[in-house]
């Protein structure tokens, strides 16, 4: 059977839904795969006969009416691009009732009947308030490399960011092996150790410091020493920015052990890069589901993924707590880096 | 808390298990991440005080006694390497009772009390027969880029292979966009369309031909024409080798449409490359679990992953059928490539 | 000293040149780095106060008046993109006097006083004829992955294509090492072995077949056998498409040796990918020089690079012969793959 | 003609040279491509019937007799690996007459008649002193990512390091474009701006700060402001570590302009990664030439490359000054980033 035929079979009865025009924006920190999500929203909507408005620069564009219609071509050849073609921003104004009132004027002016918000928990908080005030149905799509949004196992961009860090570890490993030194890699994660833990385990790091656990420099040093005595001549330490400063750790380690230490701070390059297949599939599924949510009258939920299945989570529950790290992975990292 | 402390807490009581020495081999087609699995088996076993024998070249080395002890250093700096340091082979001899009898002599000679087999369904079939004949506890770890093993959502190497194909699509897209032509990419998958479907969806391919569905060239052409009239000047078609020959499809399309078509056959490079973070984590978790299985007396199971959780599947059930593709993804690919 | 100050020092006296408006097009097969060359042409021209017209789809757009003004923003964020934003095509019509007459009408209509042609020898042949017929100053910029244009050591895109092939060899090497098999990789090069030779040497291939030399399958087999006896269990053979068909070679080798052979045909993906630093620098230097040529009245030359220095070559000399391969590299490849 | 035949033709008369056994070491900071150079030294030497001793950990292993014979297999499958299989170190002891005397004992003990030193200017200084004291013929092969060695246009590893930085710029560009911010990337280069300049030009950076020029923060800010007013909403600044601290620059810029700035410090990952085709070819040619030098009695030279041709440079001239940057490239970067 061809794609077309299969697609015909599942085609929604377009008469079922009263929604005719939806809007989409990206908000907060950008993450790789956001473009794939935008593409899925636009194409899925057009497939069902809807019109789509693209809003530029997140809530800022929502307030300033920086928006316009999108068609099939608007999202051609973007699935592989990092960043977001709709750009993003953090809007202080949208946190004020006045800001949101301006945005609501644009909802009326442009005839928007539903809004897809691709972003993090801060963005969902704003979407939720806006829904409560003005009743506009909103659908959240989790996009952040930090992977800290509650209600979904994975957020769009996390897999790409982890692979970016792992590639960095690969490169550092080359020189570490040749040079018999200790290397420290500071990665993103102010409140969450997802990137550090996953990349550290995948990269075979000797130590991983994350904000969720009490990090003890003495123990890190002790472990380094044990390895050193066993003949392990080099060591790679991954530090989440929320756990400690890479430069500070490097300095302390040097003072305590006399070992030469070298520090890399990856910074925002972790937000870029062409998205991995995983992130593109995730973004495609989530973007398409967000449109289905709006069509079916589901008014204030986030699309999530749990156990490999797409799920729906109350928007209000997504910013009350953080997606917890898996301590089993942390233990496993400890066992495998002996 | 430091890695060490956490690890102490979960440390198995080594006295619980009578297993003192296990062996590990890789078999069948190699896949990226097999080295990460070997590393996990060796380090997890050593962590629990076991000895590990590494068997070279799959069942061939098992028969020929091509094996030796592994230690922590044997698996240092291999987590990021494609291929398998234990090498692999397909052994016709192990399919015979005589071959297996020789292997059993080596089991006795080397004092092997359990065997971890990293490979595909053919390898598990052999492991199962061997267990039934000689009672050696065996633990399977699914490693194949085809992702067609029943009992696990993902096999080690699949994610890497998909990303390799997606990178190829990215490159083809550059020239396709510049040149307004039709490109055909033949990927691996004799009986299974997992790679073609996942990479095709992630790469934004216009058509995906997989062995599981009746592929109709007329419909592929029709779709190409529709896009062409709409101004879509280039097109990328992904063909699983089991669905059709890329070269043949290219020839037919040219005859039918007059459009110039270009063909790429990726071949075995899909088996190589440094494993993705996903495959390394999967391999680390699965390798460690295989050791736990052997320690706990679980004698003939494969480690699988289902809904993100590690599961145990009867070895005999892994080669009776194939891991089915997700038709929802196929439909989604159709909708998003309109 | 800052960039600005240094730049001020070298700023051309814009009054020196009568040229006010130039055009740029990409033609023939696309190659990675063409966008970097377009960017350099546009920005260098604007820096000197010129106007730039971008012509779409090579000589086709030149004939069809598919062109428009370009500014600084037209070329923002394209330096890293494969392909060409101006798209490319092969125009049969431009080979006719009628086609060129139409193009000349557009020269007059748009007030074009000079033309930068980024492409291969076929494109330069067309540019040369056009110059001879209508006197329009033309500047050629060599862009082709084949690296076969006479008058320049390197063409834009060659370095990227070679790295793409080398990455493919890396991946094949993983599975070759694990599996002890013979692998054949067919690469681009109908009349020229530049890609095959350079990538083969860089990738450590055991044999390299190029169109420039009499390729003897018997000798390739003999070498394979010698290696095999010495314990070299795997082998990688690079074949330029102009030397032989990869599939055919694979078949013959299997018949002669009984060894299992696997074939990869890279095809057009060699034309894509984000350009390497080398290609971007080359494209930037060449694009800028092409503008200087047109400003200084140099009317029918190609920018080349020889011994690391930018040179100027008569356009007519670029398509009379091919850039020869370096036999020393071929010998070196033979010595290093023993 | 086959590789073998061509090679036969050029085969050196092995009787010409009295050299029977040479040694090879890597010293100083490691760089990608060193393994390709080691491979070339070993295979070229064996091709000519010489024996090769591999010395571990640079001059440290030379002093400590940490060395052993290498054969064809010692260098199999290493051409694509970053780092150096011989490892490297900085030896304070070799700077003393006592240290060198110990090394000389090993020269006698192991029958070493010539030494290939792969490293930077510091390593060549040591080699030169050793040659002057003990007469051992030495051949230098320039390996450093900094590209600051006089007497060669390119050192092994520079091209790879530049591409690593350019990939980082690509990723930062994604988020910069989406987010409209200023990004600072600190790269290696304590005394030399080669990496910063080449990568900055190739990456399209808005400003490049290098140690060779007086860097004026006020002017950098001024340029940022001009672009900002023109609508250029994001900016990427490359800083060589020898020119300024990335973190400091970020802080100052923020104070002066109020613009949010983000800093990445790449650190030692610039030393790793699989070498580019360019670096592998360079390393292969240089390594092979170093062996020829020792065979022909050339006793104290470095292999260099100038204008694409392999040249020979007096070792003593390689550490008297630095390889200067090309100011033309700096000017071009200024023009193209307007």
Report the Cα B96 to chain-centroid distance in Å.
Answer: 25
- Last residue within a domain, chosen from C271, C305, C325: C271
Residue C6 has a pLDDT of 44
Please give the distance of CA C289 from its chain centroid, rounded to a whole number.
Answer: 17
CB contact under 8 A, B174 and C30: yes
Last residue of a domain, one of A244, A271, A298: A271
Both D172 and D131 in a single domain? no
d(CA C40, CA C45): 8
Q: Could you tell me if B8 and B35 lie in one domain?
A: yes
Distance in angstroms (rounded) separating the CA atoms of residues D78 and D69: 17
In this prediction, residue C226 carries a pLDDT of: 73
| pLDDT of D3 above 70 | no
The verdict on a CB contact (< 8 Å) between C272 and B29 is no
For chain D, give the percent of residues with pLDDT over 90. 79
**Residue D257 clears pLDDT 80, i.e. is over it:** no
Question: Is residue C335 in a domain?
Answer: no
Residue-by-residue DSSP string for B281-303: HHHHHHHHHHHHHHHTT--EEEE
C79 contacts D203? CB cut-off 8 A: yes
Coil, strand, or helix at residue C274?
coil
Does the annotation place A104 within a ligand binding site?
A: no
Closest in C183, C264, C268 to B262, CB measured: C268
Q: D247 and D176: one domain?
A: yes
Mutate to test the interface with C, among B272, B274, B275 (most CBs of C within 10 A): B272
Give the per-residue pLDDT at C5. Answer: 44
Does A21 show up as a binding residue in the annotation? no
Q: Which of B75-84, B195-204, C58-67, C213-222 comes out lowest in average pLDDT?
A: C213-222
Q: For residue B175, what are the domain limits? A: 158-271
Residue C42 lies in a domain: yes
Residue-wise pLDDT for C297-334, tens only, equals 999 999 999 999 999 999 999 999 999 999 999 999 99
Judge whether D146 counts as a catalytic residue.
Answer: yes
Distance between CA atoms of D239 and D263, rounded to whole angstroms? Answer: 10
CA distance B197 to B201: 6
C residues 27-86 closer than 8 Å to D (CB): 39-40, 43-44, 46-47, 72-73, 76-77, 79-80
3-state secondary structure of C243: coil
Tokens standing for residue D163: 């591409």
Distance from CA of C12 to the nearest CA of D (A): 12
* Residue (of B92, B117, B168) closest to B299 by Cα position: B117
* Helix/strand/coil (H/E/C) assignment for every residue in chain A: CCHHHHHHHHCCCHHHCCCCEEEEEECCCCCCCHHHHHHHHHHHHHHCCCEEEEECCHHHHHHHCCEEEECHHHHCCCCCCCCCCCCCCCCCHHHCHHHHHHHHHHHHHHCCCCEEEEECHHHHHHHHHHHHHHCCCEEEEEECCCCCECCCCCCECHHHHHHHHHHHHHHHHHHHHHHCCEEEEEECCCCCCHHHHHHHHHHCCCEEECCCCCCCHHHHHHHHHHHHHCCCCCEEEEEECCCCCHHHHHHHHHHHHCCCEEEEECHHHHHCCCCCHHHHHHHHHHHHHHHHHHHCCCCEEEEEEECCEEEEEEHHHCCCCECCCCHHHHHHHHHHCC
Higher-scoring residue by pLDDT: B197, A235: B197
* Chain B residues with beta carbon closer than 8 angstroms to that of A291: none
- Does residue C324 form part of some domain? no
Looking at the predicted structure, is the pLDDT value of residue B176 above 80?
yes
C-D contacts (CB, under 8 Å)? 190
- Mutation site for C-interface testing, chosen from D79, D195, D207 by largest number of C Cβ within 10 Å: D79
When comparing pLDDT for D17 and C206, which is higher?
Answer: C206
Residue with tokens 């392999």: D310
Give yes or no: residues D236 and D93 share one domain.
Answer: no
Does residue D105 belong to any structural domain of this protein?
Answer: yes
The answer to whether C228 contacts chain D (CB < 8 Å) is: no
Q: Are A199 and A187 in contact (CB under 8 A)?
A: yes
pLDDT tier for residue D231 given thresholds of 50, 70 and 90:
low
Residue segments in chain C with a per-residue pLDDT below the cut of 70: 1-16, 215, 227-233
Q: Are C18 and C98 members of one domain?
A: yes
Asked if A78 and A172 sit in the same domain, the reply is no
Which pairs count as long-range contacts for A65-70, CB under 8 Å and 24+ apart, including other chains? A65/A106, A65/A109, A65/A110, A67/A23, A67/A106, A67/A110, A70/A24, A70/A42
- A: neighbours with 3+ CB pairs under 8 Å? B, D
The sign of the CA dihedral A82, A84, A85, A87 is negative
Residues B43 and B138 in one domain: yes
**Closest chain C residue to the Cα of B172, Cα to Cα:** C269
| Average pLDDT for chain D | 91
CB proximity B291 to A under 8 Å: no
Within-domain flag for A131: yes
**Is A80's CB within 8 Å of B207's CB?**
no
Asked whether the predicted pLDDT for residue B5 surpasses 80, the reply is no
Q: What ipTM was assigned to the predicted interfaces of this complex? A: 0.93
- Contact (Cβ atoms closer than 8 angstroms) between residue A323 and residue A73: no
Report pLDDT for A252: 85
> Residue B7: pLDDT above 50?
no
Q: What residues in A contact B332, CB-CB < 8 Å?
A: 284-285, 288
Exposed, middle or buried: residue C93 (CB in 10 Å: 0-12, 13-18, 19+)?
middle
Question: Which residues of chain C neighbour D338 with C-beta distances below 8 Å?
Answer: 43, 46-47, 72
A103 touching B (Cβ < 8 Å): no
Nearest CA-CA distance, residue A320 and chain B, Å: 24
Cα–Cα distance measured from residue B79 to residue B33, given in angstroms and rounded to the nearest whole number: 7
Domain assignment present for D322: no
Query: Is there a single domain that holds both residue B39 and residue B61?
Result: yes
Mutation site, D32, D174, D180, D277, interface C, largest C CB count within 10 A:
D277
Strands of the sheet with C51-55, listed across from one edge: C67-70, C51-55, C21-26, C115-119, C138-142, C300-306, C309-314
Q: What is the largest CA-CA distance in chain C?
A: 73
Query: DSSP states of D103-133 as a string?
Result: HHHHHHHHT--EEEEEE-HHHHHHHHHHHHH
Identify the residue with better confidence: D146 or D177. D146
CB contact under 8 A, C178 and B269: no
Angle between helix axes C277-295 and C158-179 (nearest 10 degrees) is: 170
Decide: residue B259, CB within 10 A, 0-12 exposed, 13-18 middle, 19+ buried: middle
CA distance C83 to chain B (A): 5
Query: How far is residue A221's CA from residue A227's CA, in Å, rounded to a whole number?
Result: 10
B279 close contact with C: CB closer than 8 A: no
Kindly state whether residue C328 falls inside one of the protein's structural domains: no
User: What DSSP string describes D288-311?
Assistant: HHHHHHHHTT--EEEEEEETTEEE
Residues in chain A predicted with pLDDT less than 50, given as ranges, are: 1-13, 15
- Residue-wise pLDDT for B100-120, tens only, equals 999 999 999 999 999 999 999
C244 shares its domain with C300: no
Q: Are residues B127 and B254 located together in one domain of the fold?
A: no
Residues of C annotated as catalytic are 146
Residues 6+ away with beta carbon under 8 Å from D247: D186, D263, D265
Mutant choice from D7, D327, D332, D333 vs C, greatest count of C C-beta within 10 A: D332
Q: Which of A176, A267, A272 sits opposite D173 (nearest CB)?
A: A272
Structure tokens given for A77 = 């050849």
Indicate whether B280 belongs to any domain. yes
Which long-range contacts link B306-312 to residues 24+ away (Cβ below 8 Å)? B306/A307, B306/B152, B306/B153, B307/A306, B307/A307, B307/A308, B307/A309, B307/B153, B308/A153, B308/A306, B308/A307, B308/A308, B309/A307, B310/B285, B310/B286, B311/B151, B311/B152
Is the pLDDT score of B38 beyond 80?
yes
Cβ C302 vs Cβ C128: under 8 Å: no
Cα gap A130→A147, rounded to integer Å: 24
User: Has C91 been labeled as part of a binding site?
Assistant: yes
Query: pLDDT confidence of B231, banded at 50, 70, 90?
Result: low
Q: Is A126 on the interface with D (CB under 8 A)?
A: no
Give the three-class secondary structure for C312: strand
In this prediction, residue B56 carries a pLDDT of: 97
Q: Which residue has the higher pLDDT, B221 or A69?
A: A69
Report chain D residues whose CB lies below 8 A from the CB of A171. 82, 164, 269-273
Q: Does A248 touch chain D (CB under 8 A)?
A: no
Dihedral sign for Cα A110, A116, A122, A128, please. positive
Residues 134-193 of C with CB under 8 A from D: 153, 159, 162-163, 166, 169-170, 173, 177
Of the candidates D146, D148, D159, D279, the residue annotated as catalytic is D146
Residues B64-68, mean pLDDT to the nearest whole number: 98
Rounded to whole angstroms, how far apart are CA atoms D225 and D216? Answer: 15
Q: Where are the alpha helices (DSSP H) in B94-193?
A: 97-110, 121-134, 158-179
**Helices C3-10 & D327-336 angle (0-180, nearest 10):** 100
D140 with D301: CB under 8 angstroms?
Answer: yes
Please tell me the predicted confidence (pLDDT) of residue B1. 33
CATH (domain of D70) = 3.40.50.450
Judging contacts by C-beta atoms under 8 Å, the chain D residues touching residue A89 are: 179-180
pLDDT of residue A315: 96
Note whether B286 contacts C: Cβ–Cβ < 8 A: no
pLDDT exceeds 50 at position B3: no
Q: Do B174 and C271 touch (CB under 8 A)?
A: yes
Mean pLDDT of chain B: 91
Q: Please report residues of B whose CB lies closer than 8 A to that of C263.
A: 265, 267
Q: The domain that contains C234 carries what CATH number? A: 3.40.50.460
Indicate the number of domains in chain B: 2
Q: Has A13 been labeled as part of a binding site?
A: no
Nearest-by-CA chain A residue for B283: A202
Partner D contacted by C338 (CB < 8 A): yes
Residue B218 pLDDT class (50, 70, 90 cuts): confident
Place of tokens 């040369």: C128
Q: Are residues A71 and A216 in the same domain?
A: no
Tokens coding A332 = 């496993």
Same domain for B133 and B229, yes or no, is no
């Amino acid at each position: 059977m061809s794609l077309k035929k299969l697609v015909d079979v599942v085609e929604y009865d377009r008469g079922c839904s009263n929604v005719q025009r939806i809007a989409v924006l990206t908000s907060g920190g950008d993450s790789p795969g956001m473009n794939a999500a935008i593409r899925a929203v636009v194409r899925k909507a057009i497939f069902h006969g809807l019109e789509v408005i693209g809003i530029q620069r997140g809530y800022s564009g929502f307030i300033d009416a920086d928006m316009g219609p999108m068609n099939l071509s608007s999202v051609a050849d973007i699935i592989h691009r990092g960043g977001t073609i709709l750009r993003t921003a953090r809007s202080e104004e949208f946190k004020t009732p006045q800001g949101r009132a301006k945005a609501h004027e644009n909802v009326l002016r442009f005839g928007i009947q539903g809004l897809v918000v691709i972003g993090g928990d801060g963005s969902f908080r704003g979407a939720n308030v806006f829904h409560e005030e003005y009743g506009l149905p909103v659908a959240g799509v989790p996009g952040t490399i930090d992977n800290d949004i509650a209600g979904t196992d994975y957020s769009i961009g996390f897999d790409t960011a982890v692979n970016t860090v792992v590639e960095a570890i690969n490169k550092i490993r080359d020189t570490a092996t040749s040079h018999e030194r200790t290397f420290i890699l500071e990665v993103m994660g102010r409140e969450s150790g997802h990137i550090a833990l996953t990349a550290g385990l995948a990269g075979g790091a000797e130590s991983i410091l994350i904000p969720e656990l009490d990090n003890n420099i003495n123990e890190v040093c002790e472990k380094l020493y044990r390895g050193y005595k066993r003949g392990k001549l080099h060591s790679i330490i991954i530090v989440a920015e929320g756990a400690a400063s890479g430069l500070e750790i490097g300095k302390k380690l040097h003072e305590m052990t006399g070992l030469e230490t070298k520090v890399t701070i990856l910074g925002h390059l972790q937000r870029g890069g062409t998205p991995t297949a995983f992130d593109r599939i995730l973004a495609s599924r989530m973007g398409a589901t967000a449109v289905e949510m709006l069509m079916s009258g589901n008014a204030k939920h986030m699309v999530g993924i749990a156990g490999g299945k797409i799920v729906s989570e109350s928007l209000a529950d997504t910013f009350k707590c953080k997606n917890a790290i898996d301590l089993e992975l942390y233990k496993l990292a400890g066992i495998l880096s002996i």
